[in-house]
Amino acid sequence: MQNAEIVSDLSEALRRGEQRRRRRLAYLAFGPAAAVILLALSACGSPAPVEVTRQVEVIRQVEVPVTVEVPIEVTRQVEVIREVIVTATPSGPQATPQPTADSTTADKGKGSYLVGSEIAPGIWRSSGSGTCDLTINDLSGELVDIALDPVGATFRVPDGQYVVVITSALGSCTWGYLQP
């Protein structure tokens, strides 16, 4: 039923004195509080036409699906680096590495050096600070000779199958090659 029809039926029910119909129509048209007021007014006076206006606000949430297309350009750059180690294996009889003048006669600090391939035989002089200790051992580790000298001392490294061990108890020490 439309509001105009309800109001018209309510006016007619008030004129005829139909209380039950008045209550139902007032409730439909105006809600419970308005129905009670209309019933009270109708009991007080003579039936007169009543104009009633009702405003109704309807709020409704509606979901609207939205699709948005966004162009995206994806670029991925990959750099691959490989390290290749090539090891040559001699096919003939094993050759003894020949010492190079640069590596065997270069200055030597703390460490162990094989005579002939890592340190040249000959005369060496110490430099640096503190004491410069140099020992000569055979390949089995037995002590052959020792130098516990202050900085500036010279020592002859013999040619042969020996290991030279350089240490420094105090300060730093370097041995430099002088001559064969």
Q: Which contacts (CB < 8 Å, 24+ apart) does range 104-109 have?
A: 104/177, 105/177, 106/177, 107/174, 107/175, 107/176, 107/177, 108/164, 108/166, 108/174, 108/175, 109/166, 109/172, 109/173, 109/174, 109/175
- Examine residue 109 and state whether it is found in any structural domain, yes or no: yes
- Examine residue 52 and state whether it is found in any structural domain, yes or no: no
Q: Give the confidence band of 168 by pLDDT, cuts at 50, 70, 90.
A: confident
Average pLDDT of the residues in 77-97:
60
Model confidence over 128-160: pLDDT tens digits? 887 788 889 999 888 888 877 778 888 889 998
Residue whose structure tokens are 């410069």: 132
Residue whose structure tokens are 């600070």: 129
Q: What is the pTM of this model?
A: 0.44
Q: How many domains does the chain have?
A: 2
Q: Which pair of tokens denotes residue 27?
A: 């409730």
- Give the pLDDT confidence score for residue 153 in this predicted structure: 83
CATH code at position 110 = 2.60.120
- Examine residue 70 and state whether it is found in any structural domain, yes or no: no
Find residue 37's DSSP bridge partners.
Answer: none
Q: Give the confidence band of 76 by pLDDT, cuts at 50, 70, 90.
A: low
- Examine residue 93 and state whether it is found in any structural domain, yes or no: no
- Give the pLDDT confidence score for residue 121 in this predicted structure: 93
Domain hosting residue 147, numbered range: 104-179
Q: Exposed, middle or buried by CB within 10 Å (0-12, 13-18, 19+), for 10?
A: buried
52 within 8 A of 25, measured Cβ to Cβ: no
- Examine residue 14 and state whether it is found in any structural domain, yes or no: yes
Helix (H) or strand (E) holding 122: strand 122-128
- Classify each residue of 71-95 as buried b or exposed e, where b means 16 or more C-beta atoms within 10 Å of its C-beta: eeeeeeeeeeeeeeeeeeeeeeeee
Answer whether residue 103 shows pLDDT above 70.
yes
- Examine residue 76 and state whether it is found in any structural domain, yes or no: no
- Examine residue 20 and state whether it is found in any structural domain, yes or no: yes
- Examine residue 62 and state whether it is found in any structural domain, yes or no: no
